[in-house]
Structures are given as structure tokens and as C-alpha cells.
Amino acid sequence: MSPRPVAWKTRRDMDDELQEIYDELVRRNPGQEEFHQAVREVFDSLHPVIDHHPEFLRDGLIQRLLEPERQLMFRVPWADDDGEVHVNRGFRVEFNSALGPYKGGLRFHPSVDLGIMKFLAFEQTLKNALTGMPLGGAKGGSDFDPRGRSEAEVMRFCQSYMTELYRHLGEHTDVPAGDIGVGTRELGFLFGQYKRITNRYESGVLTGKGVGWGGAHVRSEATGYGAVFFLAEMLAVDQQSLDGRVCLVSGSGNVALHAIDKLQQLGARVVACSDSDGVAHDPDGIDIELLRRIKQVERGRVADYVDERDSATLEPAGSIWQLECDVAMPCATQNELDDDDATALVDHGCTAVVEGANMPTTAKGIDVLQKAGVAFAPGKAANCGGVATSALEMQQNASRDSWSFTHTEARLAEIMARVHQECRETAQECGANDDYVVGANVAGFQRVAAAMHAMGLI
């Protein structure tokens, strides 16, 4: 399935036929900028594949690949602790099932709308394909804001959300997991309600479960750890390591926490992390145990970390990329690193940017970094360790088995090394040496497109 090597034009050259398809996509999906952006990035990578596989342009294959198989939107009513009723909007975009059951996380955040869900589900489809595991692509969630909500309110919301969604799920149909605002606690409430409604202990219907009730070791750590394993592979290409590297990690949620932890285990020093209210700058290196307690036990903010840590200062929100570093890992949310941020990183000597979040760098930001020779790993490749470990959780659930932490972490490291290698080889075959964006997009796209082509007009 590998495309033959072709002379690389420029990554921003889009094939004429793809341009027409893209224009139509923008026309038919007005206002969904993030979805347009995610598709555009893939199309910019595709012309060597289209040159070699003209069949992918036939039978509307690309148009079908861009149209979600099913888009669910539903009412989620719930009552807060004072009895006041709230109505949120629930989503599940089942984007593509050519390679396996729909798979992807749930995001609870006020910014969630259909466009955000579609961009995430599209990215997830190609990311899941890139893992080489039998997974389709989906994303779901709600515009519910968990911030400041009591545990009882979060539980009632999760129960109401699942009361509608359960009919669309199943271990062979659609398997959600966590994302922003949805962690082990929320997955517990969701799984409990699914089990109650269906009267089935169907472990494989959700991933990211607690280790004591069907969850896999390493699943919580996997996205952050995997991104760092990917970074270590990138550095190893130039015989470099993480030892002594100064790193910035944006965010302070599940992905960021575990990225920081693994970076420091491998000898790097993480000098900043953030949330939407500010940046904790800690030149001595983030105290991971303190941050973990504040974020995960007390559900606090990075300002609370700064209060308790003498070596740290609180900087304005959004200023993290102005700090000096060798490596930057955006692990917060989409479009958090733009061209100005990229320019600041380059000016301050950053040599590698690895995306732990989904599409955190804008298109212009990626251009600035790549033109300056900064090694850049897109989220599709770098953060696929989370969903890959979800597939390992599904394997364990299917065989009613439970693997050790060490064994599972070794499997994750192996997967990340394989994905890294495949991105490099695919980029080389496309004549786009060292371009991980091209490698990830082409490798993921080819797998989905080939399966769809084989299955006929569906």
C-alpha cells in the first residue's frame, strides 16, 4: 500500500480535485472551522497518495470519508444540588467504522459543539488507524461544564447523558473513553448507569475504567507517557536523549500530568505547566507529587500549586510559550499554540514540539516551526498511546484477563516506537523526509481508505 516516492512539491499545494472536495466541505459544514482545519491539514499531505492511488478519488471515497457515518445530538436534562434544572446538549459523532467499532473519548467542556466533535472524531479516525489496531473513529461529549460542580451533580449529569447514549453503544458497536473533563470518576458513573440500564456487565463497552473494575494498568498514564516515548524516539534519530532537557508542558490535566512525570523520569526538567487561569513557572522543575495532589485529589488549580511551592511563580494565562526551553509539549487543547507562540519558541531555542493534545498547534504555527527546522510531532501520532492502550484494555476485557503495569507499559512503548517508525518511513516514501505530519496523515489515511475501498459503496 505504500505510495511510490514522488517529488515533493510543497506541503501547502493541494491537488485540484482535493481542492474542489475541500471547498464543498466548507460550503456544506458552515461555521465548523476546526473541522475544516483538521481536514485541510490532511489534504495538504495527500497528493503523493492520490497520485499513486487514483482509485481513492473514485466512488466518492474521500467525500464518504469526510461525512460522519452517524451524528447523534440529544438533550441532557439534570438537576443541580439546589434542585434547579439545567439542559445541556449531548453529542456522539460516529465517524468511521471501516477498521473496527467506533472508538474515541467523551469531552465535557463548555466549548463543545458539533464542529468540535467532528474535528475530533475525524482526527480520531486517522489516529486510531495509525495505531494499527482494529478501531474505528468517534468522539462525543457535552457542553456541560464540570468546573465547580459537586460530585453528586457530576454523577447525575453522567447518568442522564448515558440514559440516552447507551442505546448506541456496545463493545462491538461504539466504545467511548475519557477526554477533557471525563476521567476515571466520570467513567465510573457512566459505566454504572450503562450496566444498570442494560443489565449486562459488558466491560468492553467503555475504556479508561478503574483498574479494580475492568480497567487496564497504564491507561490513565498512556497518552502522556506515549507522547514522551514518541519524543524519545524522535530524539534518538539524532542520537540524542531527554537527559537534562528543559521542557514546557501546557495543561495540567491527565495528559499533561503524566507527560511531566515521564519526562522527569527520563531525566528532563519540566519548568512550567498551565491551566486556563495561569502558568506555573517553576525553574527548579515541577514537583509532580504536589501537582498530582492539587489537581487530582483536591481538584485545584495551578495557582494553588504556586501558593504551596516556593520556587514557583504564577504567570499570565497563555504565556507559557514565551519561556525558554529545549522541548515544548502542548497538552491542553486545540489551537493553543499559534504562529506568534511558535516564533517565540524558535527564538528561545526550542528544537522539538510534540503534541499531547489534539490539534493544539494552528496551521500557521506548524509552518513556522517546520520552516525553522524544529522537529514537530502531530497529535495524531504523538498522542495515539492513549487510544492504543484503550485497545489493550479491550483485549484484556475480551479475554477476561488483567496484565501487569510493567507488561502493559512495555506494550505501549513498543506501539509508540512502531508508530514513530511508520511515520518516518511513510514520510520518506512520500519524499517528505522528517515531516511527521505527512507521515502520520498518509499512513492513517491509507489504512482507512483501503478498507473502505475493499468494502464497496457503504
Binding mask 284-303 for ligand GLU (x = CB under 6 A): --------------------
Nearest distance, CB of residue 438 and ligand GLU, angstroms: 20
Nearest distance, CB of residue 112 and ligand GLU, angstroms: 13
CB-wise, 34 or 179, nearer to ligand GLU? 179
Q: Which of residues 383-412 bind ligand GLU (CB under 6 A)?
A: 386-387, 390
Nearest distance, CB of residue 206 and ligand GLU, angstroms: 9
Binding mask 48-87 for ligand GLU (x = CB under 6 A): ----------------------------------------
End-to-end CA distance of the chain: 21
Binding mask 114-133 for ligand GLU (x = CB under 6 A): ----------x---------
C-alpha span between 146 and 184 (Å, rounded)? 14
C-alpha span between 229 and 389 (Å, rounded)? 14
Q: Is 177 in the site for ligand GLU (CB under 6 A)?
A: yes
Pick the closest to residue 325 from 233, 234, 265, 245 (CA basis). 245
What DSSP designation does 170 have?
B
Tell the burial category of 216 from Cβ atoms under 10 Å away from its Cβ (0-12, 13-18, 19+). buried
Q: Of the candidates 179, 202, 282, 409, which one interacts with ligand GLU according to CB under 6 A?
A: 179
The reply to whether 364 belongs to the active site is no
CB 20 within 8 A of CB 57: no
Please tell me the count of residues contacting ligand GLU according to CB under 6 A.
11
Q: How would you label 116-126 residue by residue, b for 16+ Cβ within 10 Å and e otherwise?
A: bbbbbbbbbbb
Nearest distance, CB of residue 116 and ligand GLU, angstroms: 12
C-alpha span between 318 and 408 (Å, rounded)? 35
- Residue 16 CA neighbour count, 13 Å, CB half: 0
DSSP-assigned letters across all residues of 288-355: HHHHHIIIIIS---HHHHHHH-TT-EEEETT-GGGS--SEEEE-S-TT-B-HHHHHHHHHTT--EEE-
Nearest distance, CB of residue 386 and ligand GLU, angstroms: 4
Nearest distance, CB of residue 384 and ligand GLU, angstroms: 7
Q: Is 275 in the site for ligand GLU (CB under 6 A)?
A: no
CB-wise, 115 or 386, nearer to ligand GLU? 386
Nearest distance, CB of residue 130 and ligand GLU, angstroms: 11
Q: List CB contacts of 399: < 8 A, sequence separation 6 or more.
A: none
C-alpha span between 190 and 206 (Å, rounded)? 9
CB-wise, 368 or 394, nearer to ligand GLU? 394
Name the segment binding ligand GLU (CB under 6 A); options: 32-40, 68-76, 100-108, 262-270. Answer: 100-108
**Three cell numbers, residue 42:** 490532511
C-alpha span between 260 and 282 (Å, rounded)? 13
CB 265 within 8 A of CB 234: no
Q: Of the candidates 100, 104, 253, 378, which one interacts with ligand GLU according to CB under 6 A?
A: 104
Give residue number: closest CB to ligand GLU.
Answer: 105
**Three cell numbers, residue 419:** 508508530
* Residue among 139, 195, 209, 380 flagged as catalytic: 139
Binding mask 301-340 for ligand GLU (x = CB under 6 A): ----------------------------------------
Nearest distance, CB of residue 303 and ligand GLU, angstroms: 26
CB 51 within 8 A of CB 78: no
Beta bridge partners of 376: 353
Strands 352-354 and 375-377, by their bridges, are: parallel
CB 253 within 8 A of CB 224: no
Q: Is 46 in the site for ligand GLU (CB under 6 A)?
A: no
Assign 175 to helix, strand or coil: strand
CB-wise, 350 or 388, nearer to ligand GLU? 388
Binding mask 189-208 for ligand GLU (x = CB under 6 A): ------------------x-
DSSP-assigned letters across all residues of 182-207: B-HHHHHHHHHHHHHHHT---GGG-S
Binding mask 355-384 for ligand GLU (x = CB under 6 A): ---x--------------------------
Name the segment binding ligand GLU (CB under 6 A); options: 101-109, 229-237, 261-269, 291-299. Answer: 101-109
CB 354 within 8 A of CB 227: yes
Nearest distance, CB of residue 91 and ligand GLU, angstroms: 14
Q: Is 105 in the site for ligand GLU (CB under 6 A)?
A: yes
**Three cell numbers, residue 411:** 506494550
CB-wise, 124 or 142, nearer to ligand GLU? 124
Q: Of the candidates 36, 103, 258, 269, which one interacts with ligand GLU according to CB under 6 A?
A: 103
Which residues form the catalytic set? 139
**What is the binding site for ligand GLU (CB under 6 A)?**
103-105, 124, 177, 179, 207, 358, 386-387, 390
